[in-house]
Amino acid sequence: MYVAVKGGEKAIDAAHRLLGEERRGNPDIPEITTTQIGEQLTLAVDRVMTEGSLYDRELAAVAIKQARGDLIEAIFLIRASRTTLPRYGYSTPIETSDMLIRRRISAAFKDMPGGQILGPTFDYTHRLLEFEASETPAAPVETGPADLDRTMPRVLDLIGAEGLIEAASSTSGEPGDLTREPLAFPADRDLRLQSLVRGDEGFLLALGYSTQRGYGRSHPFAGEIRYGEVAVSFTPEELGFEIEIGAIDITECEMINQFKGSAGVPPQFTRGYGLSFGQCERKAMSMALVDRALRVRELDEEQTAPAQDEEFVLSHADNVQATGFVEHLKLPHYVDFQAELELLRRLRREAQGLDQEAAE
């Protein structure tokens, strides 16, 4: 219970001015610009867009600067900003098969058509601090002997053709939208995926890790991870035909997991799917593990682990909700606390009274 308290306004104003000064840091050092953040802290921007659930690099960069680099605070700012804007409609589903590939790897097949394209990655770096890297210009980038194919076949289709993996789901009807209707359980996969995309990377990473360590094992292989650019199309009412309105960078992870079969269907590999804005690869991989774990009902598996419990996972994945509830503990609870204090004193008095009675 909260009680309106007056008298803090001056202190709050002063605290916000102090915050502004701290955010700026030493005024002798040049101020960073949001353009610099957008160009050079790209993966922070990608995370804020993914979990803020809003693709806009400039807004994400502004939020990161305003939040002093606290990404959850920045995500909160983006979510708040989004509520001020009207919704014009839904895009045509993006076609990741037509992605302009910047990175594409498979841990399941070495020689697949199109090849392994490493792209811009931290993989295989030595994780040694490079003090010079911040001061010297980057070495010129090499170019290949020939262009890559613009698009590449999907790795899972290679085994899908033989029926060795289940088909990607095809249900009919409009997908659910948790920004319109609050999430209810049990939730179908469309809503689970929407919820996981905006879910906290750290939380999903830990849950994905737990499935690998045996809490709801699903024996995954990274069938394909691809990162690149896809066009976004939209059909405005006043035109009546579809047009491209821009392009987005996106990372997709398809996990191949162990078999499922039944009396009618011979055993097949099963799928887990992850998607993120930008190059949030760790997030897309974690999401694919958790998506697969959450398919227990659908695949008629026994639910034994936290990562398989959709109500537990989806109710706690959103870091804006989580931080709101955890951080609200900072707000004045003076009356609540006074009530508990009174209760405790009374209980102690009673207990002492009983002790005295017993002693007499």
Nearest one of 231, 253, 271, 205 to 103, comparing CA atoms: 253
Q: How far, in Å, are 23, 76, 316, 329 from residue 323 at the CA level?
A: 21, 9, 10, 10
Query: Is 345:104 a contact under the CB 8 Å cutoff?
Result: no
| Tokens 């609200």 belong to residue | 328
Which residue in the set 27, 30, 137, 144 belongs to the binding site for other proteins (CB under 8 A)?
Answer: 144
Per-residue contact string for residues 270-289; x = within reach of other proteins by CB under 8 A: -x-x-x-x------------
Shortest separation between residue 143's beta carbon and other proteins, angstroms = 4
SS3 104: strand
Q: Give the single-character DSSP code of 8.
A: -
45 scored as a contact of other proteins (CB under 8 A)? no
24 scored as a contact of other proteins (CB under 8 A)? no
Which residue in the set 69, 70, 73, 96 belongs to the binding site for other proteins (CB under 8 A)?
Answer: 96
143 scored as a contact of other proteins (CB under 8 A)? yes
Handedness of CA 324, 325, 327, 331 (dihedral sign): positive
43 scored as a contact of other proteins (CB under 8 A)? no
Nearest one of 137, 169, 127, 202 to 270, comparing CA atoms: 169
| 208/228 with CB nearer other proteins | 228
| 132/238 with CB nearer other proteins | 238
* Dist CA 15 CA 13 (whole Å): 5
Amino acid, res. 59 = L
Which residue in the set 32, 55, 66, 215 belongs to the binding site for other proteins (CB under 8 A)?
Answer: 55
| 11/239 with CB nearer other proteins | 239
Q: Enumerate residues 175-204 that contact other proteins by CB under 8 A.
A: 175-179, 189-191, 193-194, 197-198
DSSP sequence for 161-205: TTT-BPPPP---SPPP-TTTS---SS--HHHHHHHHHTS-HHHHH
Which residue in the set 5, 43, 184, 243 belongs to the binding site for other proteins (CB under 8 A)?
Answer: 243
| 65/271 with CB nearer other proteins | 271
Which residue in the set 8, 25, 113, 115 belongs to the binding site for other proteins (CB under 8 A)?
Answer: 115
Q: Enumerate residues 293-352 that contact other proteins by CB under 8 A.
A: none
Measure CA 64 to chain center.
Answer: 16
Structure tokens at 204: 């999903």
Which residue in the set 154, 251, 256, 313 belongs to the binding site for other proteins (CB under 8 A)?
Answer: 154
147 scored as a contact of other proteins (CB under 8 A)? yes
221 scored as a contact of other proteins (CB under 8 A)? no
Q: Which stretch binds other proteins (CB under 8 A): 22-30, 114-122, 314-322, 339-347?
A: 114-122
| 16/87 with CB nearer other proteins | 87
Size of the site for other proteins (CB under 8 A): 84
42 scored as a contact of other proteins (CB under 8 A)? no
91 scored as a contact of other proteins (CB under 8 A)? yes
168 scored as a contact of other proteins (CB under 8 A)? yes
Nearest one of 94, 29, 24 to 65, comparing CA atoms: 24
Nearest one of 244, 201, 247, 254 to 228, comparing CA atoms: 247
Q: Which stretch binds other proteins (CB under 8 A): 32-40, 174-182, 331-339, 346-354?
A: 174-182
* Dist CA 19 CA 236 (whole Å): 44
